[in-house]
Chains A and B, each alone.
Chain A
Amino acid sequence: MKVTFPHMGNQYIATKVLFEELGVDIIVPPVCSKETLEIGTKYSPESICLPLKINIGNFIESIQQGADTILMSGSCGPCRFGYYTMLQKEILQEIGHNIDFVLLDPPQGDYKTFVNRIFHITNTKNPYKIIKALAQGTKVLYQVDELDDIAYYKRPRQRKIGEVDNLLEQFQKEVRNVKGYKEMKQLVGETKEKLMAIEEDPNKEVIKVGLIGEIYTIIEPFVNLNVEKKLGEMGVELDRSLKVSRWLTEHLYLHPLGLSMEKDIIKEAKPYMKTMIGGHARETIGYAVKYAKEGYDGLVQIYPFTCMPEIVAQSILPTIEKDFDIPYLCLIVDELTGDAGYSTRLEAFVDLLKRRREMKEDAKLLSGY
């Protein structure tokens, strides 16, 4: 059994650790690239959202390297992600890949199938072993997400532009060569130290932007055309609303117990959106309000073309923009998104934010404070 799974930002690092600790053979799909997207677009329905196309690309590229089992998580609506697996199965079958699909859906009462699937994919029936590996995977996930947070802080402040991303790129390459929890932990630790040691320029002007939107597009750098790097190097310190580590804790550990870490976000979203509507629309709204209250300079929303929940969020965000006087930029990505137009819009937005801040400071000076 050779297991593969779709990409989503740094999630693969944790999944790799998880399976290596369990002793299951895995194939990490090649980094998402133009080819991945091309393969995905070729076989997917035209009007489906971008994440599915990338998933298909990932799967096929992994199959070419010998994968025979796919691990995929799911949901039960109302966002179409819930039916991804069924469609993906049909697509892969049609092009002649007879592959074993293991779905990890919320059990909805059928715990026996769910547990059996876990036993099947982990290749062991020892719950202790599974829990231990899962804990280690989760730890790595948190550590890797911490790297991202450090990078958000360092990027706009680095003296030599590009240093942070050179380091991270190096890290991504080395990740593929290390094996198991111990080695990974060490590598992440080293990278963290190096990141912290990057020289800062104290005179740089830094503005703060909140990144909100659909979880996959804001997390996977290939899909959002490296928005974090682009904005960071323009002098923007980012905060991202959704992280894989938080998502995992929320859905795997807390949700079955009826708990949630997102209570305050839901509360912030309440005046604008009363209930959940699928996807992460409510989180998008909630974080937008939170960032606005915390005095961020601007908001950037990214979502895949035709994403239903985010369209609802998009129609509400202009009200938040007005209520809190915070500029908001909406970027929609699909397979036809061009880098140049995208960068221009980001640049213009950042210029606008900087100018706004200057004007505010001038106003302060003039009024004598």
Chain B
Amino acid sequence: MTIKIGIPRGLWFYDYYPLWKTFYEELGAEIIISNPTNKNLLDKGVKNTVDEACLPVKIFNGHVIDLKDRVDYIFVPKMMSVYKDEYICPKFCGLPEMVEHSIPNLPPLIDTEINFNQSRKHIMKTVYEFGSYVTKNPIKIRKAYSKALQAYEEYKDKISQGRFPIDGELTSKQLMLNNKNKKKIALLGHTYQLYDRMGSMDIMKKLQDYGVEILIPEMINMDVINEKAATLEKKMFWSYGRKALGTAIYLKENSDIDGAIYVSAFGCGIDSIIGDLFERWTRKDGDIPFLLLTIDEHTGEAGVNTRLEAFIDMIDWRKRDEGNLPAHG
């Protein structure tokens, strides 16, 4: 009988799922992905998580509940760090523990530790540990891993071309408008929020309906971002934070965008710092219009719509009226 492994459609899912899915499928396991986030699933998640946790963690727990009765293992790796001297977020570091102590009657978790904070030398050992849930054959695991890497690279490529994995399904390429109403807006936020329809109030679709061209950090050359981030006075130790701050510096210097929207999860510790620095550097130093949307399970969609509309109107007026009139008449 094949082993059934459930992958929750939340948190790092949007960054890595082709990697993990291909890996386990190559090893002969059956992969079951939880349903896209919906109201019912969100409610269950909220009920089974401490109140203080952020929305994405609550959604994640909802996905785990969605999977728990129909799989042999649930894939909840302990993601400590993916780059040297960097971390993800304390909640990611303690995620398997949080899930385990929040939800009763769970099947076993695949909670192998991913920690490249010191070095990447033991990467193959980590891969074997992941593979050992399905097979003990190292050659098979190595093969599956290289296939998985390939799938992952292709996936990253598609995203950098502007195809977004909304709820895990890649959208088609953005239409580039070429009229004078053209607006380009940088959209910042954790992948698990932006690409989750429920968790982001479908912001990507909304923006595209307004005819906005979206720029996400992944569409900027990563080397440039890394280079910019390296100029920071103190090394940013969150991987996401480094990407966001690098983007902020890049945008400040080459501002060909009309605005920036930062989607933040209420209570996110990383956003409280990165969002603030991002705003300081883009809005105050770079003169780029900035909108911060904070979302939690109580956020009303109408309010988000109103703010988006106002923001886009403001950009339109700015474009139309920004003549060379002096500010004081």
- By a beta-carbon cutoff of 8 Å, the part of chain A in contact with chain B is 45-49, 74, 76-80, 82-83, 85-87, 90, 94, 103, 105, 108, 272-279, 281, 305-309, 311-312, 314-316, 318-319, 332
Name the residue on A nearest B271 (C-beta): A47
Mark B22-65 against chain A: 1 for CB-CB distance below 8 A, else 0: 00000000000000000000000000011011000000000000
**B277 x A332 contact (CB < 8 A):** no
**In the assembled complex, B272 has its CB within 8 A of some CB on chain A:** yes
Which residues of A lie under 8 Å from residue B113 when comparing CB positions? 274-275
| A74–B236 alpha-carbon span in the complex (Å) | 13
| A306–B50 alpha-carbon span in the complex (Å) | 12
**In the assembled complex, B237 has its CB within 8 A of some CB on chain A:** yes
- Known A78-B238, A278-B93; contact A108-B85, beta-carbon cutoff 8 A: yes
**B269 x A307 contact (CB < 8 A):** yes
**In the assembled complex, B234 has its CB within 8 A of some CB on chain A:** yes
Query: B52, B271, B276: which contacts A314 (Cβ < 8 A)?
Result: B52
Query: B90, B267, B276, B294: which contacts A278 (Cβ < 8 A)?
Result: B90
Query: What interface size band does chain B fall in?
Result: 35 or more
| A12–B294 alpha-carbon span in the complex (Å) | 37
Name the residue on B nearest A276 (C-beta): B93
- Known A86-B233, A277-B93, A309-B90; contact A77-B238, beta-carbon cutoff 8 A: yes
**B267 x A47 contact (CB < 8 A):** yes
Which residues of A lie under 8 Å from residue B270 when comparing CB positions? 80
Name the residue on B nearest A105 (C-beta): B234
Shortest Cβ distance from A282 into chain B, in angstroms? 9
Query: A46, A47, A312, A319: which contacts B91 (Cβ < 8 A)?
Result: A312
- By a beta-carbon cutoff of 8 Å, the part of chain B in contact with chain A is 49-50, 52-53, 78, 80, 85-91, 93-94, 97-98, 101-102, 113, 115, 232-238, 241, 264, 266-273, 275-277, 280, 294
Given contacts A49-B269, A306-B52, 20 further A-B contacts (CB under 8 A): A47-B267, A47-B272, A76-B235, A77-B87, A77-B238, A78-B237, A79-B269, A80-B269, A80-B273, A83-B273, A105-B234, A273-B97, A275-B115, A276-B93, A279-B90, A306-B269, A311-B52, A312-B91, A314-B52, A332-B52
- Known A48-B276, A76-B237; contact A277-B269, beta-carbon cutoff 8 A: no
- Known A77-B87, A312-B94, A315-B53; contact A82-B271, beta-carbon cutoff 8 A: no
**A312 x B273 contact (CB < 8 A):** no
| A315–B273 alpha-carbon span in the complex (Å) | 24
**B237 x A82 contact (CB < 8 A):** yes
Query: A45, A281, A318, A332: which contacts B275 (Cβ < 8 A)?
Result: A45
**A274 x B97 contact (CB < 8 A):** yes
**A47 x B266 contact (CB < 8 A):** yes
Query: B98, B269, B272: which contacts A315 (Cβ < 8 A)?
Result: B98
Q: Which 8 A-B pairs have the closest CB atoms?
A: A77-B237, A78-B87, A312-B94, A277-B93, A45-B276, A308-B90, A278-B90, A47-B272
